[in-house]
Amino acid sequence: MAGQFVLKKFSEIDLDDAFFDSLKRDYPKFESWFQKKASENRTALVFEDEIGVGAFVALKNENEEISLSDSSLPAKSRTKISTFKISERYQGKRIGEGAVGLALWYWQKEKTEEIYFTTFDKQDNLIGMFEKFGFVYVGTQDNDEFVYVKSRTHIDYSTPYSSFPFIPSDFTKAEYVIINDDFHDQIFAYSELAKNQKDMGDKIGASVINGLTKVYIGKAPDNKYEVGDPILIYRRYKGSGAQHRSCVTSYCRVTNSFQAKRQGRPLMSVEELLEKMGNKTIFSESQIRKFYSQSDDVTIIEMLYYGFFGAGNNVNYKWLKDNGCWPDGYPAGVPLKPEVFIKVLKEGKIDVQNVIVDKP
């Protein structure tokens, strides 16, 4: 899939692209709304390929009452996803998951109390995706649009998806995942370059076009990763000067983990492994087959990409070692105390209070 999400002005976007035809049909005022935003110099997150627009996400902050057919939601600080559309040619390719992540990261940065969107009931796949990420149906508007809301004060911590991008404060352990630099830069493209959330369109936009769910296959002899565990992503630099250039770049939460082989004994066939990994990995089938056949231990970690540190903020090996954040021996899978995880986030200039949140 070529391209990435970029932040573009409405005035730079081709409204005549066939991508917008369904929006024009569903919303008679869409064209005038779009042109108004263009005159206001507004921007949107846009994914384009050689065909044209493939995804479009427009966000705005407001503090207004939301009218429903039989009630209303009181005015409060909210982020509205005013437009969210993925082209049919990208259905099932996980770009929608990445677009939801960009919207939720924006909401987190802006610190508004709620985020919401409206849609018609025919958008089953879209509704299902947003419900997976913790959005809750709150009512229907007079034009028959459903309203879905996610609130900071009522975060659903039942899964890493429904609580994204917030981590519950009662987690008991975290771990490292060690990834060689070449594979790291494919899985978490641009995470080591992005300076801040304002760069998310043209920097981490390449990280999310294949979704927020990342799958890594490694050689950990034991699987100690558990669903919900926070993860520090460590980019192992294979050249000289590794203690300064190997570093933690980002953080995730475990959504699934399992072993396919242990001490040379298959726990599942390579065909079963390929089926379980699905389309969530950057590794090719031939790479996975080779890794499976040549490794005594095969451990798979599925993670949800929660955030990144950015240029100048990555935490290198020397700091980790000097500050008691690097376990003795090989650290993959070794449990870290919550305070160690938090210490590393703070060194990476993460606003911890805006990431790790108490349960109500």
Nearest to 85 by CA among 52, 32, 123, 116: 123
Nearest to 163 by CA among 232, 254, 234: 254
CA 300 to chain centre: 19
Tokens of 335: 């449990």
What mean pLDDT is predicted for residues 296-312?
Answer: 91
**Predicted confidence (pLDDT) per residue in 74-127, tens digit:** 999 999 999 999 998 887 778 889 899 999 999 999 999 999 999 988 888 899
Please state, in angstroms and rounded to a whole number, the distance separating the CA atoms of residues 205 and 201. 5
Residue 117: predicted pLDDT: 95
pTM of the model: 0.90
User: Are 108 and 167 within 8 A, CB to CB?
Assistant: no
User: Are 303 and 177 within 8 A, CB to CB?
Assistant: yes
Residue 296: predicted pLDDT: 94
Residue 196: predicted pLDDT: 36
Q: Which CATH superfamily is domain 5-154 in?
A: Gcn5-related N-acetyltransferase (GNAT) (3.40.630.30)
Ranges 25-34, 184-193, 273-282, most confident: 25-34
Contacts of 148 (CB under 8 A, 6+ apart): 116, 117, 118, 119, 127, 130, 131, 135, 136, 137, 138
Helix orientation angle between 124-132 and 95-110, rounded to the nearest 10 degrees? 50
Please state, in angstroms and rounded to a whole number, the distance separating the CA atoms of residues 219 and 261. 9
- At the topology level, CATH places domain 169-357 in 2.30.130
**Predicted confidence (pLDDT) per residue in 204-253, tens digit:** 444 566 688 999 898 888 888 999 999 999 999 887 777 778 999 999 99
Tokens of 341: 């995880």
SS3 77: coil
Q: Domain ranges in the chain? A: 5-154, 169-357
DSSP-derived secondary structure letter, 74: P
311 φ, ψ to 5°?
Answer: -55, 130
DSSP-derived secondary structure letter, 174: B
What mean pLDDT is predicted for residues 292-297?
Answer: 94
